[in-house]
Chains A and B, each alone.
With several copies, the nearest count.
Chain A
Amino acid sequence: MANYDGASLVKMFKAIATAIAAQKEHLCELDGKIGDADHGIAMALGFGAVSDALSELDMDGVAPTAVFNMAAKSFLNAVGASSGPLYATAFMRAGATAKGKISLAEGDFVAAFQAMAKGIEDRGKAVVGEKTMVDAWRPAAEAMAAAHAGGADLAASFAATVAAARKGAEATIDMVAAKGRSARLGERSRGHMDPGAASAVFVIEAMERGLDLSG
């Protein structure tokens, strides 16, 4: 059973930054339909700043908590927008679950995902079904927990997690937004995927890729 230290989390965040940069335009287009067309910009800016900040870190023995906290802080200060406090809170909460650990065991990801989902829900005062990134993060966190409880290894757990996030994001298409900028659209928000849910899928996919789960 593999363990993931601070350095591997840095690699994970860099993978997220790369993935999001590639989806910048696509996410802006999604946001253009029901929001203000800047979600790709915000996310790319945020994870770009995370990646830059983490490059400055001394990797030698860096604690997972420190990586999450630095990610939270740099994301927050780079972004503004809704996604800023939402992801910053998610990473801060994830960091808290890793407090005192020098690396994350497979099971620690269950706690981290739960904390991230909860952090986003708390900060956004949102629940599943309101057409936000919560609709990807909450099922993802549940899938991770269920897979782990069922004895799956981290690779299999992540596969389930990604699948759940995707399904959750797809489900936002049919929803009417109740939180965030698009909430004012009422029925006009239906028929489009929530950009924050869409980007959550790219984030979680990139985590899977960046963590080198084959190890």
Chain B
Amino acid sequence: MEKTKKIINGQDNVVEEMLDGILAAHPQHLRQVEGSARSIIAVDGPRPGKVGLVIGGGSGHEPTFLGFVGRGLADGAAIGNVFASPPPDPILECAKAVSGGAGVLFMYGNYAGDVMNFDMAAEMAAMDDIDVRTVLTTDDIASAPRDERDKRRGVAGNFFVFKAAGAACDKILSFDECERVGRKANDHTYTMGVALSPCSLPQTLKPSFEIAPGEMEVGMGIHGEPGIAVGPLEPADAISDMILDRIFEEMAPARGDKVAVLVNSLGATSLMELYIMNRRVKQRLDERGISIHATWVGNYCTSLEMAGASITLMHLDGELQEMLDHPCDCAMFRVV
């Protein structure tokens, strides 16, 4: 079979080389923890008395996670191989590096591998007298029924959840408060997506799965985990409606409510397509009398070069809105 073309050197060093390139591009924002190359922390973030925020997970979702490390958002990120959790060591090193004595929050997507590795790191941190609490992101409403929300995966919506928690930490709220804001942010965040064509791991250079011509996969995971259904590729409005209907069903927004919107590309899907979807999002929200506080459109949580997109709504209250508006200055994302 035809090999997927990628601009890489060898398959073994993609993550190291990517990190080198990221550090070369963003020296004002990011640095490596001494002796732990996969632990990246904000140049200007962690500080005494502040709850440290460590995020992380597999590579291949850029700008998630590294792009969201910086003052006002996450203090550090532990970086795994492509689509693989980081091992406990780099997570632990991040925790040590960003700990300001007020506790460290671990936030990451709810995947078995990540949970096991982060939990081991938390156990190790406890031995170093660092108090770690964990908030898992579980925004992918397609990944489990509503009454099993804690089984759901974390996908593009983790951007909102990290942002809110990062703001809480930056405001020097207490550990309890930071954790509470993180959980609340996650509870208020709903994502669903569709995939149109697969991605290939750098190590195999062949598609990790198949989506037949003319078809799309509804609710596919950001690592190519099969979704909830396969169906014919629908027009942009129908796709947006299908996603929004499910989100509305869970979120149950009332007239006058406020949301933040994220229309995210899985990689290859263009801004043109995302904005066409956003047009429909706006129409549907207008119809329901829901006001849009802010909209982000672009590559926020990708799956290598997968084609497809997701829509995330965060159901805002005053507090969450304040957290989203709080300034942050990250290598790949900024709120001023």
Contacts and interface: CB of A to CB of B under 8 A. Distances in A.
* Touching chains A and B, CB distance < 8 Å: yes
Interface of A: 25, 28, 32-38, 41-42, 45, 76-86, 123-124, 179-185, 188
Q: Is the interface of A mostly helix, strand, loop or mixed?
A: helix
Interface string B104-129: 00000001110011011000000000
A124 B112 contact: yes
Interface stretch (B220-228, B247-255, B318-326): B220-228
A100 B221 CA distance: 46
Interface in B72-107: 80-89
A32 B209 contact: yes
B116 A181 contact: no
Given A84-B85, A179-B112, 10 more contacts: A34-B226, A36-B224, A37-B224, A38-B84, A80-B80, A81-B85, A123-B116, A184-B151, A184-B152, A184-B153
Query: Chain B: interface residue count, which band?
Result: 20 to 34
Given A81-B85, A84-B85, A84-B113, A37 B201 contact: yes
29 contacts: A28-B204, A33-B209, A36-B224, A36-B225, A37-B204, A37-B208, A37-B224, A38-B223, A41-B84, A41-B203, A41-B204, A42-B81, A42-B84, A45-B81, A76-B120, A80-B87, A81-B84, A82-B113, A84-B87, A84-B113, A84-B116, A85-B113, A85-B119, A85-B120, A123-B116, A181-B111, A181-B223, A182-B225, A184-B152
Contact of B83 (A25, A38, A83, A84): A38
A80 B221 contact: no
A105 B83 CA distance: 40
Interface of B: 58, 80-89, 111-113, 116-117, 119-120, 143-144, 151-153, 201, 203-204, 208-209, 221, 223-226
A84 B117 contact: yes
A35 B80 CA distance: 17
A89 B82 CA distance: 22
A32 B86 CA distance: 20
Contact of A86 (B116, B204, B208): B116
Closest 6 CB pairs of A and B: A37-B208, A36-B223, A82-B113, A85-B116, A81-B84, A80-B80
A78 B225 contact: no
A83 B120 CA distance: 13
A185 B218 CA distance: 12
Contacts of A42: 81, 84
B335 to A, nearest CB: 30
B92 to A, nearest CB: 11
Residue among B83, B111, B152 with the highest chain A CB neighbour number at 10 A = B83
Nearest to A179: B112
A124 B143 CA distance: 19
A25 B246 CA distance: 37
B21 to A, nearest CB: 21
A42 B89 CA distance: 17
Contact of B82 (A38, A78, A84, A188): A38
Contacts of A41: 81, 84, 201, 203-204
B151 A76 contact: no
A29 to B, nearest CB: 9
A132 to B, nearest CB: 9
Contacts of B80: 80-81
Contacts of B113: 80-85, 181
Contacts of B201: 28, 37-38, 41
Contact of A77 (B87, B111, B119, B221): B87
A101 to B, nearest CB: 26
B221 A36 contact: yes
A28 B83 CA distance: 13
Given A80-B58, A82-B112, A25 B87 contact: no
A184 B221 contact: yes
A34 B113 CA distance: 15
Contacts of A85: 88, 113, 116-117, 119-120
